[in-house]
Amino acid sequence: MRRILFLFFLVFLGIQVIRMDYDLPESLPENDLFALTNPTLELVNTHSKSCYNCHSYTTNFTWYSQLAPLSWVLMNNVIEARRLFNFSKKN
């Protein structure tokens, strides 16, 4: 049992070398959907809390988003969310 746990720990440490690209693309504030549409403050607050983190280029990555294999899943979800709808792009 100890060997299995030790092997699991070694594999976990080993996969930490495979890093995701966390560089955020440059975002012009004038292209932001909120800047273009001038929505109500309530709408801005709601979307900022629930949607904006994944669907924009202002993503705040948490400490656990740096740990593989969770980092791979989270980054793929963010990439897919931005592909479907991106608040930071004009079109």
* Model pTM above 0.85: no
Residue 43: which H helix or E strand, with range?
Answer: helix 41-50
Cα 49–Cα 50–Cα 55 angle in degrees, nearest 5: 105
pLDDT at 11: 95
Helix (H) or strand (E) holding 4: helix 2-15
* Confidence label for 91 from pLDDT (cuts 50, 70 and 90): low
Query: Residue 29's closest CA among 83, 82, 88?
Result: 88
User: Domain residues of the chain, as ranges?
Assistant: 2-84
Mean pLDDT of the residues in the chain: 88
**pLDDT single digits (tens) 34-77:** 878 888 888 888 888 888 889 998 888 889 999 999 999 999 99
